[in-house]
């Protein structure tokens, strides 16, 4: 197992290229199961989650070739069961349910279970499949969905904490090959859902309304192969912007999508940072100590929960008291105790944190609890006194392509060492 040593006090400047979106790439790769013809996907990030998805596709019978960020997949003959040994490594593997059900009218996948940021059940996925005339049963930790015929229907996929992104993806993929019209109400509006819909439409699907709360899918008899480039990762882009705010002078992001980062850019501007955006570039110039902020995480287009931990790190050094209310995953505050080990003054009150800004953070051994917490602890270490030791670094390999190399190219000093 590796750990990271983050040497504080090194200023960041320069240009960094944003990788393809993990949360787009995973369902898009799964969607290639909907056709027997080859599909070519570009800008696929080199991440452990991607490796696991490609393993699942290979196990299901797809031929997978990968080189330099491009993946070619042909799923001529496929199986319908994804085993626990692979699925347990990545919760998003549940998104193969939709394409397998759509194409083969049955699918069996091990239940993903909960995670450190809270329980994330697939009840809404199954509710959506039921609207397509599919049934399901759970046996020995596996969920099996099946249907004699898939028939279009109406499903509301908004849960008590908001819409389900993977559920929207799953039902949309299955509905592409259903008979008649499917309407998804309460659909997730994230750019990653739009990216998947665009890929499916290239394959011959008939989807309208992606990016709104109401998606309409006209079923077709079959889909064909297609070529597609994954959108830039907005959470990686946001993470680098926060890194620049914490420890930068002037940092430019290229191959990014500013239109996907509206709330993040607004909050950073309110905090006092100067930001310039172009078609596919964002430049942030640091302006010293940030002003305090009051943030509430919400489903897109609101402030993303996946940026909450990084903002906790930034606001730990703000000039005043900030608040962050977490409405998407109310338990997602495992990073707070680790930031406090570094000298942050943070109070947790239910699903809200009060962050009292301090003049300096100090290095300490810390433990990453999840993907975004791992990023936040690295960012805090950039401006801390001393060398911050971040353990459980495998979390960050799930969702950030070469993040330490990219930060080092901007002037950081981060080492990965074997334990």
Give the catalytic positions in this structure: 115
Residue with tokens 């334990």: 419
Q: Do residues 254 and 217 lie in contact, with contact meaning Cβ atoms separated by under 8 Å?
A: no
Residue with tokens 């670094």: 393
Query: Token digits for 359?
Result: 């003049």
* Sheet arrangement for strand 352-356: 294-296, 321-325, 352-356, 345-349
Query: Token digits for 358?
Result: 């301090």
Helix (H, G, I), strand (E, B) or coil at 149: coil
* Burial class of residue 151 (count of CB atoms within 10 Å of its CB; 0-12, 13-18, 19+): middle
Q: Where are the beta strands (DSSP E) in 357-412?
A: 365-367, 387-391
> Would you give the distance in Å from CA 144 to the centre of its chain?
26
Q: How many CB atoms lie within 10 A of CB 417?
A: 10
Q: How many CB atoms lie within 10 A of CB 148?
A: 10
DSSP 93-123: GGGGHHHHHHHHSEEEEE----BTTB----H
Backbone angles phi, psi at 208, to 5 degrees: -130, 150
């Amino acid at each position: 197992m590796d750990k990271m040593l983050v040497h504080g006090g090194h200023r960041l400047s320069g240009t960094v290229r944003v990788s393809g979106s993990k949360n787009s790439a995973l369902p898009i790769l799964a969607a290639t199961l909907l056709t027997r013809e080859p599909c070519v996907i570009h800008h696929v990030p080199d991440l452990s989650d991607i490796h696991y998805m490609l393993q699942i596709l290979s196990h299901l019978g797809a031929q997978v070739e990968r080189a330099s960020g491009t993946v070619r997949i042909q799923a001529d003959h496929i199986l319908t069961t994804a085993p626990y040994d692979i699925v347990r490594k990545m919760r998003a593997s549940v998104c193969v349910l939709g394409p397998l059900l759509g194409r083969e009218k049955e699918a069996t996948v091990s239940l993903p279970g909960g995670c450190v940021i809270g329980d994330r059940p697939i009840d809404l996925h199954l509710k959506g499949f039921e609207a397509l005339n599919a049934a399901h049963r759970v046996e020995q930790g596996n969920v099996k969905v099946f249907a004699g015929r898939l028939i279009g229907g109406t499903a509301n996929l908004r849960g008590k904490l908001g819409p389900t992104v993977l559920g929207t993806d799953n039902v949309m993929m299955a509905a592409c090959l259903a008979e008649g019209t499917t309407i998804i109400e309460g659909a997730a509006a994230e750019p990653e859902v739009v990216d998947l819909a665009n890929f499916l439409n290239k394959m011959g699907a008939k989807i309208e309304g992606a990016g709104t709360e109401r998606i309409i899918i006209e079923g077709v008899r079959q889909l064909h192969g297609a070529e597609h480039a994954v959108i830039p990762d907005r959470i990686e882009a946001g993470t680098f912007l926060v890194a620049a705010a914490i420890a930068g002078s002037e940092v430019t992001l290229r191959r990014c999508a500013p239109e996907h980062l509206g709330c993040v850019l607004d909050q950073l501007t309110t905090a006092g940072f100067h930001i310039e955006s172009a078609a596919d570039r964002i430049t942030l110039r640091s302006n010293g100590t940030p002003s305090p902020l009051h943030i509430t995480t919400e489903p897109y287009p609101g402030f993303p929960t996946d940026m909450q931990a990084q903002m906790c790190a930034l606001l730990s050094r703000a000039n005043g008291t900030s608040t962050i209310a977490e409405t998407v995953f109310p338990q997602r505050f495992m990073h707070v105790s680790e930031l406090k080990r570094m000298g942050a003054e943070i109070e947790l009150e239910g699903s809200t944190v009060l962050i009292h800004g301090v003049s300096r953070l100090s290095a300490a051994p810390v433990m990453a609890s999840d993907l975004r917490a791992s990023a936040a602890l690295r960012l805090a270490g950039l401006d801390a006194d001393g060398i911050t030791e971040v353990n459980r670094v495998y979390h960050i390999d799930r969702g950030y392509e070469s993040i330490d190399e990219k930060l080092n190219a901007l002037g950081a000093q981060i080492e990965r060492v074997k334990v």
